Amino acid sequence: PELPPANLLAQKFIGSTVYFRYPILHEGLVCAVADSTTVYRGNEKPRKLSSSAQEKRPTVLARMYKELQVGEGKVGTGGLILPKSDVTISLRPLERIDTLPDGMKVKVYAKREIELPFAATLYSPSRPDPRIEVPARLENDPYMFGKSKLEKGVAPGDTRRDRKFTSPPLNVKLGDFANGSAHAVSESQKMMSSRGFSTFARNQPTTPSAAGVLVRAPRRSLHTTSVLTRRGNPRMRLAGAAGALAFSSFFLVASLIQVVASTQTSLHACASVRRIQSPLPSLIEHESHDVTRTPTTPPIEFAHGTTTLSFVFQGGVIAAVDSRASIGNFVGSKTVQKVLPVSSSILGTMAGGAADCSFWIRFLRQQARLHEVQNKRSMSVARSSRILSNALYQYRGLGDLSVGSMIMGYDAREGFSIYYVDNTGARIRGEVFSVGSGSTFALGILDTELRYDMTEAEAISLGIKAIRHATARDAMSGGYIGVYLITKEGWAKVYSEDLAARATSR
């Protein structure tokens, strides 16, 4: 969907915090929103861009999108393909967390701004970080940084002029924020990149040589000899020229002799090596097609396994999952979050490839947030499942995409609903679903004991029982049991159990 106008986005986002630099998700304070003609900054009146800035803006936007796609020449950047739009957002990145004399921790935002396409700030973490859930210390006018740049009519986000206003380096960690330390960028880091994607200013200081002084050695040539002989008579000039010619001829002949000698030496060495390895040529001559051809290794097929289920009852929707990620017989992780939020009333489950499912559900979350901003209402469950189905259908058959997700939630039009969507683009609505290698065991419990008129407590107990039986019989399932309840007020995680601790306690 198309983005709303910049004036509406400015009313909603200026003064709030967003996350950028996916997948690192760095926090930033929004100071301004701009489109191709107007800049909306803080509480000020909208400012029109000058004609020169409007002419430069398409080039600046193209550079922004290209840098997000190809990266900044550092690990962890690039690979972000966004829908094209002329709306950009200016923000101040979170710089550090300070501790006040009374022991209170406050967030401090950098006194610089960076500008990004608006779609690059629509990602959000799956869970809030408690280390940065603290108040912010702001100036009297927190939107002033970058104001002079707009007054001069320079196109916002001109990365050639504003390299020093880019985001902090990738080695900044939240643990360092919590300690209240400020990160200073060394000169060696500023000069480490010579590519066009460097995030630092290009005015590098001159580096001296090992001796401390750069000295150009005087150049000796035939021209020097002729100059020295110009002051003599013609005979002296002729003698000097003849001597220079003889000198250069001598060095030319000596160079040719050295090249010929080195060539003969290398040929002699190759011949001696061939004599030493005399048994090999016969093998290579007769069996060259077997010796030189690299044998093809059959692809390794890793079996995935999980257990996810969901069902509708009179009080809402129950989603129950395990937390084990397996690669064949190897347990990759015991604590995978297999239920991801799409909106305040919609959840999605993961079954298949962990990376594939995580990426596409986060993509769906981005689309849901865009819909909420544009239409000022939450996206319906049917629309969410249709967007995911259409996206997966476009990529069917391209690689080993593995997705089996259940999109469930509540909306005022359809009530409680569940849709199953997989990597082929299939989209099926139902009342009961179970996906994964342990689904047959879970469905055996659900088909026997599920009733529509159950209470919330009974529905939660049924979800726990189904996952517990599936993990007992399916080797690919295990870890923790997580149960989520969706009601008209929203969703909440209502139960979590460590299956390993339960087995040990027995």
Q: Which residues are catalytic?
A: 306
Rg of the chain in Å (alpha carbons): 34
Q: CA-CA distance, 426 to 382, in Å (whole number)? A: 13
Q: CA-CA distance, 14 to 16, in Å (whole number)? A: 6
Which phi and psi (to 5°) does residue 189 adopt?
Answer: -70, -35
Got the DSSP string for 216-285? PPPPP-HHHHHHHHTTS-HHHHHHHHHHHHHHHHHHHHHHHHHHHHHHHHHHHHHHHHHHHTTTHHHHHH
Which phi and psi (to 5°) does residue 431 adopt?
Answer: -100, -25
Tokens of 300: 């390794």
Asked if residues 351 and 323 have their Cβ atoms less than 8 Å apart, the reply is no
Residues making up the chain, counted from first to last? 506
Q: CA-CA distance, 427 to 133, in Å (whole number)? A: 38
Asked if residues 321 and 438 have their Cβ atoms less than 8 Å apart, the reply is no
| CA-closest candidate to residue 427, choices 416, 439, 413, 417 | 417
Element of type H or E holding 420: strand 415-422
Q: CA-CA distance, 160 to 158, in Å (whole number)? A: 6
Q: CA-CA distance, 471 to 466, in Å (whole number)? A: 9
Tokens of 479: 């870890």
Element of type H or E holding 114: strand 114-117
Which phi and psi (to 5°) does residue 123 adopt?
Answer: -85, 150
Element of type H or E holding 368: helix 354-375
Residue with tokens 């189904």: 466
Asked if residues 320 and 483 have their Cβ atoms less than 8 Å apart, the reply is yes
| Three-class DSSP labels, 162-208 | CHHHCCCCCCCCHHHHHCCCCCCCCHHHHCCCCCCCCCCCCCCCCCC
Please state, as a whole number, how many other Cβ atoms lie within 10 Å of the Cβ of residue 313: 19
Element of type H or E holding 290: helix 288-291
| CA-closest candidate to residue 435, choices 494, 373, 492, 353 | 353
Q: Which amino acid is at 399?
A: G
Which phi and psi (to 5°) does residue 202 adopt?
Answer: -90, 0
DSSP 3-state assignment of 33? strand
